[in-house]
Every structure is written in C-alpha cells, then in structure tokens.
Amino acid sequence: MTDTAAPLLRGLAVTLELTAAAGALSVLIALAAGLARASHRRWLSWPAAIYVETFRGTSALVQLFWFYFVLPFFGVALTPFAAGVMVLALNTGAYGSEVVRGALAAVPSGQREAASALNLGGTRTLWRILLPQALPAMLPPAGNLAIELLKNTALVSLITITELTFTAQLLRAERLHSAEIFTMVLALYFAVALCITAGMRALERRASRGLERGAAR
Amino acid sequence: MIFDWGYAWDILPQLGRALVVTLQATALGMALALALGLVFALARRSRYRVVAWPAAAVVEFVRSTPLLVQMFFLFYVLPVAGAQMSPLATGVIALGIHYAAYCSEVYRAGLEAVPRGQWEAAAALNLGRWRTLRAIVLPQAIPPVVPALGNYLVAMFKDTPLLSAITVVELLQTAKLIGSETFRYVEPITLVGALFLVLSLISAAAIRWTEQRLRLET
C-alpha cells in the first residue's frame, strides 16, 4: 500500500505544479486577451478574437499534440513540461478571457463616465475603478475554470509527463491492481478539486467585501 | 518545413473516415448523457434522501475528476469485473456518464424554472406525479435549456480525442498513425485541428440560431 502511495503522491505534486504554473499564466493571458478583445482598436481586438475562437473551438488534446509534435517541425522544440504548461495556460486563458470580457461589460457605464469626469486616465480607470468592481463577478466562473484546468492536466500524461495519471498508468503496468490504483487517483483529484472550491469561496468572500453588488455568500 | 497542400489533400479521405468514428462516439455519448442526465436531475430532486443524496454526490464527483482517468478506470476495471466490451463502447459510456453529470445541472435549472403552480394545478386535476412530470413539467422545462445542452454537445465533441488514449482509432489517433508512418505530423494534426474548429464554429452558430428561435417563441 505505501509503495503505491509514495509514487502517486509524487505524481500529485507534479499535477499541482502544472495546475499552479498554468493557472498563474492563464490569469495573465485571460486579462490581456479579454481587455484586447473588448478594445475598440481593431489591431488589438481581431488577433485576440482569433486566438480565443481557435483555442475554444478545438480540442485541448489536439492543441497539446500540435504543440508537442508539430511545433518541432517549425524549429520550436519544447520540453513536454513546457508544452504542457503552455497549452493548458493558452486553453484556460481563452475561456478566461470571455469571463473577463463579460464581467467588464457588466460594470455600469456610469462608472466609466464618472471616472472620465474625474479626469482619470484609461489605465487608472481600468485598474482602480473597473477591475475591482468586475472582480466579484469573475471569481465564480474562474473557480469553475480552475477545476477544468486541474482536470485537463491529466491530458499531459499522454505526452509522457510523469504526473498523477501517468504515474497511475506506470503502476498499473507494473502491479495490475487497476481498480485500486485508479480509485485512489480519482479520489486524489476529487480532494484537490474540493480544496480549490473552498479556496475560491474564501476569495469570493474577500473580494466582495464592501461591495453591494454580488455581496458575500 | 512548410505545409504541403498536396499531401494534406491526399490524407483527407482517411481523416474523413476517422471523422465518422468521432461523430458516432459524439452522437451515442450525447444520447446517453441526455438520458442519464435527466435521471440524475430527477433523482437529485427526489423527496427521498436516500435517492437525492447519492445522486448529488455522484454528480459532484464525476464533475470534479478528469474524464481521461474515468475512461482509464472503465477501460481497465470493466473487463476485470466481467463486462467485456469494445474500446469504443467503453469510451461512449465514459463520455455519457461524464457529460450526464453536466447535463443534470442544466436539467435541474430547467426544472426549477417551472412555476410551482404547474405542479399544483396538475394535482388539482388529479394527475399522478409521473404523468404531471411527463406531460406538464418536462415539456416546459426542457425547451428553454436546449441551447445549454447544445453547448455540452460541442464540449463532448471536443473531448472525443481522449478516446485515442484507450486505443479507439478516431480522428486524432488516425492523424498520429499517419504521422508515425510518414514522419510528417504537420499536415495531419493541423488538419484535425482545422476540422474541429470548423465543426465547432458551425455548431456554435446553430446553437445561437436555436437560442434566437426560442426567444422569439416565448
């Protein structure tokens, strides 16, 4: 039992690393793409729209294989881990950008007008007025995306990264206790998902403090 | 290395045949998800806690764990448990169960949107619970959630490449096989991506169209 648990926990650590790295990167991508797509400048909004539609319209696994098998032919050889993090972040970021765009659009237009009446610049309006008010609306869908990201990390086992699912495959080939191994793996994923949900709830409460809209709970 | 259009044209028929397998898996998986999802949704609303509570737990568990691992679980554990079936059948069951969990939430929203008065009026007319559900409540609950269910159809379509991990020769697996034979991965995998993109965009347009139609009717 313990000799099964140890490798699985090492695999879990890699899964968590992947989730954290891709998650952090995808927040940046989502903000950039969401803002670019909402922009009035076509040279910003068009590339953002193409990126978002491409990554939302194709399968995550196809994207992963494209980055892993096809990019080397164009002279870009990524390590499996780098390809994994890139694809997971780009995929999650594409969905996240729609969350950012939707939440920003839901901030009443009076807020923008008031900011410009107070002579605040564009950047300042965005960071001090719009984003803090849009944040509470972004967090619940962001929590769902975080769970989706965690689940998608299992895909990178197919490009030989030794994370939780790949470890399970190795153990299965070695010991043949498929039912026990995969039950444990499912339970571990579920436990991590519960932790993410709890963490996001806490963040939601924190972000909606002092705001009337989308108040706590 | 650049994209060779002639070669891409040559492998297109092979990918087309594989697309049929992908579409089959999607259609069968969705049929299962729609049926099972409704069962989950109704079980979750049951008056009996012994029914409602496990249904809720199953839905949460299935939604929070990776489809790929669920697929491996079924693929390796079902034969041991005495249920021999083809990889495609196993994949369809995995897709069906996974998306049933998502669909059940959609159905639940639809069911909750039906006013209580509908149930009460049906009871006043002396209709049984089952008949009320089938003839009164479901016909009002399901049409508004069709677009949301459609979104999951597209999502499932995009998840079918996972079947390649349990040896089903669908679109992505075919592309990989072509690649390993000819050492040219650029065209097959890019074409697969393009096929997914085109079909997803078409389905998304179809869903928007249904949504507008529904809005006009109400």
DSSP3 helix / strand / coil % (chain B, rounded to 5): 85, 0, 15
Name the pTM for this structure: 0.90
From first CA to last CA, the distance across chain B in angstroms is: 55
B53 touches chain A (CB under 8 A): no
Yes or no, beta carbons of B172 and A151 under 8 Å apart: no
What's the confidence (pLDDT) of residue A216? 44
Give DSSP secondary structure letters for B66-123.
Answer: -HHHHHHHHHHHHHHTT----HHHHHHHHHHHHHHHHHHHHHHHHHHTS-HHHHHHHH
Instruction: Decide if A213 is inside a domain.
Output: no
> Which residues of B fall within a CB distance of 8 Å from A165?
66, 68-69, 72
A62 touches chain B (CB under 8 A): yes
Instruction: Decide if A49 is inside a domain.
Output: yes
Range of the domain at A141: 2-207
* Tokens representing residue B95 in the block: 């897709």
Query: How high is the ipTM of this complex?
Result: 0.89
For A1-28, the pLDDT digits (tens) are: 567 788 999 999 999 999 999 999 999 9
Side-chain half-sphere exposure of A178, counting CA atoms within 13 A: 15
Q: What are phi and psi of A177, to 5 degrees?
A: -90, 65
Q: How many domains does chain B have?
A: 1
For A62-118, the pLDDT digits (tens) are: 999 999 999 988 888 899 999 999 999 999 999 999 999 999 999 999 999 999 999
**Out of B63, B158, B190, whose CB is closest to A59?**
B158
Instruction: Decide if A52 is inside a domain.
Output: yes
Mutation target to probe the B interface, by most B beta carbons within 10 A, among A50, A53, A62, A167 is A62
* Tokens representing residue B97 in the block: 């169960």
Yes or no, beta carbons of A58 and B70 under 8 Å apart: no
> Which residues of A fall within a CB distance of 8 Å from B74?
none
- Which pLDDT band holds residue A212 (cuts at 50, 70, 90)? low
Instruction: Decide if A215 is inside a domain.
Output: no
> Which residues of B fall within a CB distance of 8 Å from A186?
61, 65, 69-70, 73
Q: How many domains does chain A have?
A: 1
The domain that holds B23 is classified in CATH as 1.10.3720.10
> Which residues of B fall within a CB distance of 8 Å from A60?
158
A207 touches chain B (CB under 8 A): no
A153 neighbors A22 (Cβ within 8 angstroms): yes
B91 neighbors B166 (Cβ within 8 angstroms): yes
For B90-120, the pLDDT digits (tens) are: 999 999 999 999 999 999 999 999 999 999 9
Mutation target to probe the A interface, by most A beta carbons within 10 A, among B76, B90, B163 is B76
Instruction: Decide if A217 is inside a domain.
Output: no
The domain that holds A41 is classified in CATH as 1.10.3720.10
A45 touches chain B (CB under 8 A): no
Give the gap in angstroms from C-alpha B64 to the nearest C-alpha of chain A. 6
B158 neighbors A59 (Cβ within 8 angstroms): yes
Angle at A193 between CA A53 and CA B157, to 5 degrees: 35
Give the gap in angstroms from C-alpha A103 to the nearest C-alpha of chain B. 20
CB burial of A35-57 (b: ≥16 within 10 Å; e: otherwise) equals bbbbeeeeebbeebeebbebbbb
Pairs of CB atoms within 8 A across A/B? 110
Lowest mean per-residue pLDDT among A24-38, A123-137, A197-211, B19-33: A197-211
Yes or no, beta carbons of B190 and A73 under 8 Å apart: no
Range of the domain at B203: 5-217
- Interatomic CA distance for residues B37 and B99, integer angstroms: 8
Instruction: Decide if A99 is inside a domain.
Output: yes
Give the gap in angstroms from C-alpha A63 to the nearest C-alpha of chain B. 7
Residue A113, judged by CB atoms within 10 A of its CB (0-12, 13-18, 19+), counts as exposed
What's the confidence (pLDDT) of residue B42? 95
What's the confidence (pLDDT) of residue B94? 97
**Out of A58, A66, A182, whose CB is closest to B69?**
A182
- Interatomic CA distance for residues B189 and B173, integer angstroms: 10
For A141-200, the pLDDT digits (tens) are: 999 999 999 999 999 999 999 999 999 999 998 887 888 999 999 999 999 999 999 999
A60 touches chain B (CB under 8 A): yes
DSSP3 helix / strand / coil % (chain A, rounded to 5): 85, 0, 15
B65 touches chain A (CB under 8 A): yes
Yes or no, beta carbons of A178 and B196 under 8 Å apart: no
Mutation target to probe the A interface, by most A beta carbons within 10 A, among B105, B185, B187, B191 is B185
> Which residues of B fall within a CB distance of 8 Å from A185?
69
Instruction: Decide if A141 is inside a domain.
Output: yes
Instruction: Decide if A214 is inside a domain.
Output: no
Yes or no, beta carbons of A62 and B165 under 8 Å apart: no
Instruction: Give the residue from A145, A162, A173, A18 showing the smallest Cα distance to B72.
Output: A173
Q: What are phi and psi of B45, to 5 degrees?
A: -90, 0
Residues of chain B with pLDDT under 70: 1, 218
> Which residues of A fall within a CB distance of 8 Å from B200?
56-58
